[in-house]
Structure 1
Amino acid sequence: MTNQRTQAEIVRQSLKRRYRKERRFRLYGMTAIAVALLSLVVLFTDIIGKGYTGFIKTTMTLEVVLDGEQMYLEDPTDKDQISMADFQAPIIAALQRYFPEAQSRKDVRELSRLSGNYASNQIRDLLQAQPELLGSTQTLEFLVHDTVSVYVKHADNPAYSIRLSEQQQRWVDELVEQGVVTTSFNDVFFSRGDSREPSNAGILGAIVGSLLTMLVTLVIAFPTGVAAAVYLEEFAPQNKLTDFIEVNINNLAAVPSIIFGLLGLAVFIGVFGMPRSVPVLGGLVLALMTLPTIIISSRAAIKSVPPSIREAAEGIGASKMQVVLHHVIPLAMPGMMTGSIIGMAQALGETAPLLLIGMVAFIVEVPEGFFSSATVLPVQIYQWASSAEQGFVELASAGIMILLAFMISMNGLAIWLRKRLERRW
């Protein structure tokens, strides 16, 4: 009897230790999840805190007198006069009506730095398009200088005012009070390409470049990857050659992406002489990088199709090709699409291989085709983040938010397709 009690006590102690270990294991797991979620919260808070102002533009609205004598311009249709005219003078004169005390050369110079660097180009383009406006008074809206924009958007933080003199800060404060300087949604950010001035820079060129590059990647990688997976799973004989191919496909999936950039630089540019910084070249490089992922996921999807489907189709006289095309591929397609979308999302966020093939170029114009000079979202973000101006830091964070939105959408689409189309056997 005593022996039985001793054995029961040993079992209870063992169970207590086991339950304690299980509770600790659960605690470790919950702690890991909490740390991961906290890291995500910190990351998103930092990105959104720095990037939301990138979706806001700061403008000034002025009554500008297009005085030809002041601009040294008599004929807006004369290219020589246009090239020599002073289009900044009407803007300075419009600002001096608010600050008549600004008459010295130093004051005029500081006053001129309140408007953006492209404000004078706006007047030039207006007069070239409508020469009859010379001598008239027009109400025009200009983007302010980057330092002014940062100061207005962060008026409560003294750290953002260090690049403006005290006099410029006073002028800007008065213009804000009078409603001359205002903030609104930054449509420029979504309608233009890159620029040397943050307030005039946009992300449309990078978005179009990314879409063109991803289209080339999809057209090349998806059918090639699916065809390779079908052949390896359904038609290839099991021998040393196919084993060698399978091992190398798995190894390629783990190769650093920069290696594919070196391959593109050596083969596509060095051997075939393709132009740098075009979506076709970027799409080819990313297609090579994405192929292993698509092949592996497609093979897994094909393996998940029950053998009974093949046996039933063969039992009614279907050929091997008919079994694959009419039964196996349609049933495996949800898994293939899911893997392809995840691979495309990975390619969308790649930077290193595209840097090596020249897609780091400064691109002002929005690309018009697959052979136009272009950049992509990750590279554009990299360029802005490496700039010293505070305005570019805001744009980089805003660009990260857009890139994350694209990637979350693509992963969400993959999850939805898997839930919507998958079949359980």
Structure 2
Amino acid sequence: MSKDAFKNTELIQASLKKRYARERRFQLFGKLAVLLGFVFLFILLFDIVSKGTPAFTQKQLQIAVDFDPDKLGVDASASAEQLRQANFNAVIKSSLRDMFPEVTSRGDKKRLYRLVSIGAEYALRDRVIEDPSLIGQRKDFWLLAHSEAAGYLKGQISRELPEVERKVKDIQMDWLDQLRDKGLTKSSFNTLFFLEGDSREPELAGIRAALQGSFFTLVVTFLLAFPIGVFAAVYLEEFAPRNRITDLIEININNLAAVPSIVFGLLGLAVFINFFELPRSAPLVGGIVLSLMTLPTIIITSRASIQAVSPSIREAALGVGASKIQTVFHHVLPVAMPGILTGSIIGMAQALGESAPLLMIGMVAFIMEVPGGVTDPSTVLPVQIFLWADSPERGFTEKTSAAIMVLMGFLIVMNALAIYLRRRFEVK
């Protein structure tokens, strides 16, 4: 081998070593990037789940309730309306004092009463309305604990924290320890979280109103965005002439997909509420706004799915005498439907997680009642999360994380549905 050939071989080998080293470094950086992404995702999910899991359980205290007619202000012969006006709060306070007779000062009595949730009196009221014979009796009931007391029983509040820095005082912890030692505390699944609307009290707050509002909003969004988006995509891809007007429409559709969502909220506030005077804070307006925001995504994905259909399908249909409309609706659309459904569901999932446009149209209101229709005042799950995250009470912290878990669950279900429908239609 000549001297020049040997040098060339060495140069080539050195170059190959550098190239292989760069490739290995690139692969290493790629693996590190993926690993870093999984680490941050794990940290996020762990933080949400660890904070939100306690919200799915509630703490209850067993109280021996004495339904004294004198304290209630009614007797067993009272009507249902009179029973609703009875003083059940006085009965609960009296029963707590009987359980802790050593409590005499006014301040300690207030702290004692705070062990039980304000919702306990309404639970007793409903029981007495169902069975008026309880009046005059003394019976044990499991009553919902206040969120602060429940926080201590769940281990979220430590005695090691200075008393001035926590709402649960030492004496309240002593009372709760006494009840726990006697077996008068228990944990149960928090059905109120799924069956009740929002509340000022963390232990009574639920997501049912927000879930129902989200359902109505998404129904309106789907009924408007899906047919309009699909038909617009079919027209632009199959029937529209190629000229400056259609080019301008396509450019605007692509630009609308990148418009910040809050702009659509401003549009809804200015047009649908102020001009058309549609009801504020209603799923109808929220659905219209989200449909406008979702339309570009559906149109773009639907056009991409139609473009992906093989030209041979169109040519075969036209060759056997099918009209243009028959070719599109009988042959092209069924083949493109998996991609269209996938894009539509992804767009709906994006709409489900939006809060900024809905804040602009007033869906940030405090809603306790469950909406019964698309025109009733309502809120949605992302806005409910925003409201709870802004609350100073510790009890709402776990509610916020639990609501995020529910929202993430719905998003996972919707994406799984998109994958299922895509595969099912592809098989067909």
TM-score (norm 2): 0.94
**Aligned-residue CA RMSD (Å):** 1.9
Matched, 1:265 2:266: no
How much identity, in percent, do the aligned residues show? 51
What are the within-5 Å matches in structure 2 for residues 251-400 of structure 1?
Answer: 251-400=255-404
CA contact (8 A) 2:253 2:296 kept: yes
Q: Which residue of 1 aligns with 2:155?
A: 154
Measure how far apart 1:104 and its partner are.
Answer: 3.3
Instruction: Tell which deviates more after alignment, 395-404 or 164-173.
Output: 164-173
C-alpha displacement of 1:145: 1.0
Q: TM-score, normalised by structure 1?
A: 0.95
Distance of 1:325 and 1:269 partners within structure 2 = 37
Q: Which of 190, 193, 208 is the matching residue for 2:194?
A: 190
Q: Could you say which residue in structure 2 is the equivalent of 1:73?
A: 74
SS at match of 1:142: strand
Question: Aligned runs of 1:60-99 on 2, under 5 Å?
Answer: 60-74=61-75, 76-77=78-79, 83=85, 85-99=86-100
Aligned pair partner of 2:215 in 211, 214, 218: 211
Conserved in 2, the CA contact under 8 Å of 1:335 and 1:422?
no
- What is the CA–CA distance in structure 2 between the aligned matches of 1:71 and 1:266, rounded to whole Å? 52
CA distance in 1, matches of 2:426, 2:84: 65
Structure 2: distance between partners of 1:23 and 1:417:
39
Query: What is the CA-CA distance between 1:3 and the residue it aligns to?
Result: 1.5
Q: 1:76 touches 1:82 (CA, 8 Å); kept in 2?
A: no
Say if 1:111 and 1:419 are closer, same or farther in 2 by CA, change over 3 A: same
SS for the counterpart of 1:101 is coil
Q: Give the residue type in structure 2 aligned to 1:313.
A: A
| Equivalent residues of 1:226, 1:294 under 8 A apart | yes
TM-aligned CA deviation for residue 179 of structure 1: 1.8
Note the 1:7-22 alignment, pairs <5 A: 7-22=8-23
- CA-to-partner distance for each residue in 1:106-125, whole Å, 9 max, x for gaps? 33222111111122233334
- The residue type paired with residue 60 of structure 1 is L
**How much has 1:328 moved relative to structure 2?**
0.4
How big is the shift at 1:200? 0.6
Q: After TM superposition, give the deviation of residue 203 of structure 1 in Å.
A: 0.9
Partner of residue 233 from structure 2, selected from 229, 233, 242: 229
Return the offset for 1:418.
2.9
Tell whether the 8 Å contact from 2:151 to 2:157 is kept in structure 1 after alignment. no
Deviation readout 1:185-213 (Å, 9 max, x if unpaired)? 11111111111101011111111111111
Q: Is the 8 A contact 2:338 2:423 kept in 1?
A: no
1:243 to 244, 247, 250: 247
Q: What SS class does the counterpart of residue 88 from structure 1 fall into?
A: helix
CA contact (8 A) 2:52 2:402 kept: yes
Moved more, 2-11 or 346-355: 2-11
Check whether the contact 1:143–1:200 (CA below 8 A) recurs between aligned residues.
Answer: no
- Conserved in 2, the CA contact under 8 Å of 1:154 and 1:160? no
Do the aligned partners of 1:76 and 1:127 also contact (CA within 8 Å) in 2?
no
Amino acid at match of 2:119: Y
Aligned counterparts of 2:78 and 2:401: Cα–Cα separation in 1: 41
Where 1:57 maps in the other structure, the secondary structure is strand
Q: Any unmatched runs of 5+ in structure 2?
A: none
- Give the SS at the match of 2:291: helix
Call closer, same or farther: CA 1:160–1:387 in 2, change over 3 Å. farther
1:79 positional shift: 5.6
Indicate conservation of the 8 Å contact 1:279/1:372, yes or no. Answer: yes
Task: State the shift of 1:68 in Å.
Answer: 1.3
